[in-house]
Chain A
Amino acid sequence: MTARTMAETMETAQDTGVVRLAAGDDWLAVCDRSLLTPGRGVAALLPDGRQVALFLDRAGRTYAIDNRDPFTGAYVLSRGLVGSDGGQPFVASPLLKQRFDLATGACLDDDEVTVAVFEVRAD
């Protein structure tokens, strides 16, 4: 992911309609923004079968990372709790509680682990 798209991820619009994920050259409409609860996630299915975990934080920003928990192999990251540490939002895996930075996908409890980050926008 490039710096530009990451900045975009962080600054997505606040109250508008549809949440979209970058899929190839297109933006895939995922769901109505109102379906997201601040501080919680949902899972979305990409056409190629990949699973994405989508989150909304308290400030209204959306984030998208891979739904697969690399520590257990289960597709559950969307079901974790969202928190923030020094302004950095993260999700804690519901299985064994490792935390992942939502903006970068980096695992905060293990330097060597990262999950993929997806481009997302809400407009």
Chain B
Amino acid sequence: MPVSTSPTARASRPAAVPTLVVVGHGMVGQRFLEALAERGLTGAAGTARVVVLCEEPRAAYDRVQLSSYFSGRTPDDLSLVEPGFMERHGFELRLGDPAESVDRAARTVTARSGETFAYDTLVLATGSYPFVPPVPGKDTEGCFVYRTIEDLLAIEEYARTATTGAVVGGGLLGLEAAGALKGLGLDTHVVEFAPRLMPVQVDEGGGAALLRTIENMGLTVHTGVGTQEVTAGEDGSVNGMSLSDGSALATDLVVFSAGVRPRDQLARECGLAVGQRGGIVVDEECRTSDPAVFAIGECALAPDGRVYGLVAPGYEMAQTAAGVIAGGKASFTGADMSTKLKLLGVDVASFGDAHGTSEGCLDVVYADARSGVYKKLVIGRDGTLLGGVLIGDADQYGMLRPMTGTVLPVAPEQLVLPAGTGGPAVLGPSALPDDAVICSCHNVTKGAVCEHGTLPEVKKCTKAGTGCGSCVKVIGQLLPQSQDTGLCGCFPYTRSELYEIVRTLEITSYAGLLDSHGRDSARGGDGCEVCKPTVGSIIASLATTVGASGYVLDGEQAALQDTNDHFLANLQRNGSYSIVPRIPGGEITPERLIVIGEVARDFGLYTKITGGQRIDLFGARVEQLPLIWTRLVDAGFESGHAYGKSLRTVKSCVGQTWCRYGVQDSVRMAIDLELRYRGLRSPHKLKSAVSGCARECAEARGKDFGIIATAQGWNLYVGGNGGATPRHADLLAQDLSDTELVRLIDRFLMFYIRTADRLERTSTWLDRIEGGLDHVRDVVVHDSLGLCDELERLMADHVRGYRDEWAETINDPERLRRFVTFVNAPDAPDPSVRFVPERDQVKPDLDILAGPVLAVRTLEGTAS
């Protein structure tokens, strides 16, 4: 159904402003629109009418990152169109309304909806279609291609009932598709006609290294064989394939990924020149054989005789065409085919003349079959770097690619040998010339990157790093570095280093740690507001293990806690406190609910249901806290740690017990988890949720660790975050039993606590640590560091050592002594804490705090 975001189109040609019709709203089409907007050629500016015909049901999205849908990015996350972009620029986007024919003589385009648009300039950005070899049975139910979000949704749906999958094609996209099938839990085969994988990008040696690594991951690779037929079972859906070597392969699902072909049908039909092997012929200005028609992106055959199947050259064409249409001068003559990818977790990169086709060139090769590393540099006769292939370890890609065409400053063999054997030479990006292109997606040079001070600034101002992301590492190296990674002015160590020091030396005192491991200038001093709570939290996390008191306010530990922990309550703007009793899993009996109501009423507390499935009582004075908690503890409540950097809530949905869709008892699991991890002090707060089915009513994927029930057990997602920078959690493991789930969470949390920085939620931690999710999975699922026993032991220590802080406090007169407003007038209430009525409850009386209140600049780390 056609949807237009602006006034309905008319076929009549508007008098004053020229009409531009864009066919295809893919990656390049969108870049073209952005380029028009940059040049002021928009409906909003009154300089052009721009109509965009989009075949897909959704606006342009990041096709390069398509597979990340399977690791948790939603179609919305993948969108390339900023909200409001079309409206702001007055571009008329017609979703689900492809162009069906072009009449070049009349200069009109007719869309599927039947509407006809007159154009002054036509831009074709129709991309490619996946090539499906004409084998019998290719249209059987269960056969798919891998190009659009809709393709992925269909594959995902079909895979639910499948156990085996086969990908036809072992190229870049085929391997990506194979990775996706593997991720969906299918036993996966790759069938490649060529004698090696990724025949276009890598040479034989590289293909062999890739093969071993991929087979080690449990995929089955068949090279040198073709697909002869797709066979169907009695129900008419795929049940296997027969191969050219006479063998048969049983499979429930087939994905064709045997290359792409330019979508030039529309152009052919209206008589535009197309290449012999397809592609709309364009000149250096991206003009087709008709000067009023342009073609850009994967559908175009560039003047160098190539059809580019990569996004970066497409973006360049978009810029060129927009420049020319806006009346400027621009040209596209060809581009580099360099790529760097992570396929199934393996780095694969090739750049320049990777196959060594130049005259007289020589290869410098390093191959290690055991570790699956293969590196080849192609060097010209005069020592110029011409290109290369890197498999298994492509860290040097960002450095080497921009050096292509120059004579290397060190011997090439030094660059391919592993560390410890005389190489690799550390060839810092500082060695690059200023005009070296660092980000090939957006064509940004080193010089342009170096004008900025931080990565976010570089991304914002130059777009570098916002495409495939492979240049981000080098950008980081080009930016000014802070040499000192110490936690603060008092300690030269990071938080995770301090954690290790405290754990191994069993240090239980902050002063001891400061005097033994602090910076010289800080030893013997009072520390600061950064390291005190950080060290306090480390000691609390390890209390049972290192033999410290598990009560965070004992002895010296009392002086380390932020004010919230110090009073076991949350400080409010007027100096009063709030109280949040723990309500595990959000489940509460009517009796307890009544107690909360009574306490709130008796102490005149403002009462609110929180966003975390529990109840917050606001407006208590310091001296009221123990009285309130005595009532709550008597009724069986415990601290909810709303004040601590520790476990908050484990949200639940009602689950299988009541809900007609539920497949597991999500409430019981939420309660179990909340009781297990309550009181666990960590670098930042921890939130969790358990949903009873994939409908996800508990919003588990917005949590640090979220659990979603499956028919077989539980899926565990990690690294989710709401708050300021929302992030959907990534799938860590699937179909876990109760025990497996708990064991994995134990390990995950303890690994996070050990390695995260202060105030670093699991989301930022996961994005920051080297190797990311894969590394964390290796450590906590596959035990690659041999740490799992210890992580489990640490958690067992925590569980064993847990005691309710509030029960401990109200039962100890010593501890209760601190809950006074004035040390010299213990009975006097704080005169500055007053309330005024609002909506039948109270709110802080801020007038009595008035007087000269200063403008507030919020400082770092202000949140409790």
Query: A residues within 8 Å of B by Cβ?
Result: 28-31, 35, 37-40, 42-45, 49, 51, 54, 57-58, 70-76, 79-87, 89, 92, 94-99, 109-110, 113
Contacts and interface: CB of A to CB of B under 8 A. Distances in A.
Given A70-B853, A71-B853, A74-B849, A95 B532 contact: no
Contacts of B562: 81, 94
A97 B528 CA distance: 11
A82 B856 contact: no
Interface stretch (B450-458, B493-501, B731-739, B824-832): B824-832
Interface in B806-864: 817, 821-825, 828, 830-832, 846, 849-854, 856-862
Interface of B: 489-490, 511, 521-522, 524-529, 532-533, 556, 558-560, 562-564, 566-567, 571, 573-575, 817, 821-825, 828, 830-832, 846, 849-854, 856-862
A96 B563 contact: no
A4 to B, nearest CB: 25
A110 B855 CA distance: 11
Given A39-B560, A76-B571, A96-B858, A84 B566 contact: no
B824 A45 contact: yes
Contact of A81 (B529, B571, B574): B529
A74 B574 contact: yes
A71 B529 contact: no
Contact of B525 (A45, A51, A75, A87): A87
B849 A57 contact: no
Contacts of B573: 72, 74, 95
B830 A80 contact: no
Contacts of A73: 846, 849-851, 853
A75 B575 contact: yes
Given A43-B821, A73-B853, A109-B859, A85 B528 contact: yes
A94 B828 CA distance: 22
Given A38-B556, A110-B857, 6 more contacts: A39-B560, A57-B526, A70-B852, A75-B575, A83-B529, A96-B856
Contacts of A76: 563, 571, 575
A43 B559 CA distance: 15
Nearest to A79: B563
A58 B511 CA distance: 9
A68 to B, nearest CB: 8
28 contacts: A39-B526, A39-B532, A39-B560, A40-B558, A40-B566, A43-B821, A44-B823, A45-B825, A57-B526, A58-B524, A58-B525, A72-B853, A73-B850, A74-B575, A74-B849, A75-B575, A75-B832, A76-B571, A79-B566, A81-B562, A82-B526, A83-B526, A83-B532, A84-B525, A85-B528, A87-B525, A92-B528, A109-B859
A35 B822 CA distance: 12
In the complex, the 9 A-B pairs of residues with the closest C-beta atoms, listed nearest first: A39-B559, A73-B849, A83-B528, A94-B563, A92-B529, A84-B526, A42-B823, A84-B525, A74-B575
B528 A54 contact: no
B817 A98 contact: no
B830 A75 contact: yes
Contact of A37 (B490, B532, B558): B558
B831 A49 contact: yes
A36 B613 CA distance: 38
B558 A54 contact: no
Contacts of A110: 854, 857
Given A43-B821, A71-B856, A84 B528 contact: yes
A48 B224 CA distance: 94
Contacts of A109: 857, 859
Nearest to B853: A73
A43 B521 CA distance: 30
Contact of B527 (A31, A43, A83, A94): A83
Nearest to B572: A74
A51 B558 CA distance: 23
B862 A96 contact: yes
A113 B525 contact: no
A84 B828 CA distance: 32
Contacts of A79: 563, 566-567, 571
B559 A38 contact: yes
A30 B527 contact: no
A51 to B, nearest CB: 8
A47 to B, nearest CB: 10
A70 B852 CA distance: 7
B377 to A, nearest CB: 52
B832 to A, nearest CB: 4
A97 B525 contact: no
A91 B203 CA distance: 64
A78 to B, nearest CB: 9
Contacts of A38: 556, 559
Contacts of B850: 73
A57 B526 CA distance: 7
Nearest to B855: A71
A30 B825 CA distance: 9
B404 to A, nearest CB: 49
Contacts of A30: 823-824
Contacts of A84: 522, 525-528
A85 B558 CA distance: 21
A86 B528 CA distance: 11
Contact of A86 (B521, B556, B823): B521
Given A80-B563, A81-B562, A84-B528, A94 B823 contact: no
Contacts of A82: 526, 559
B824 A81 contact: no
A90 to B, nearest CB: 8
A67 B825 CA distance: 15
Contacts of B490: 83
B862 A97 contact: yes
Nearest to B514: A58
Nearest to B536: A81
A44 B562 CA distance: 20
Contacts of B574: 74
B760 to A, nearest CB: 18
Nearest to B846: A73
Contacts of A39: 526-527, 532, 556, 559-560
Contacts of B563: 76, 79-81, 94
Nearest to B490: A83
Contacts of A94: 562-564, 571
Contacts of B559: 37-40, 81-82
A35 B824 CA distance: 10
B856 A97 contact: no
A35 B858 contact: no
A82 B860 CA distance: 17
Nearest to B489: A85
Contacts of A51: 822, 832
B119 to A, nearest CB: 58
A92 B559 CA distance: 13
Contact of A43 (B529, B567, B822): B822
A86 B850 CA distance: 34
Contact of B529 (A49, A74, A87, A97): A97
Nearest to A31: B823
B535 to A, nearest CB: 12
B824 A31 contact: yes
Nearest to A55: B526
A50 to B, nearest CB: 11
Contacts of B831: 49
A100 to B, nearest CB: 11
A87 B830 CA distance: 33
Given A73-B846, A76-B571, A96 B859 contact: yes
Contacts of A83: 490, 525-529, 532
Contacts of A37: 558-559
Contacts of A45: 822, 824-825, 828
Given A94-B571, A97-B859, A35 B532 contact: no
B795 to A, nearest CB: 29
A69 to B, nearest CB: 9
A35 B335 CA distance: 75
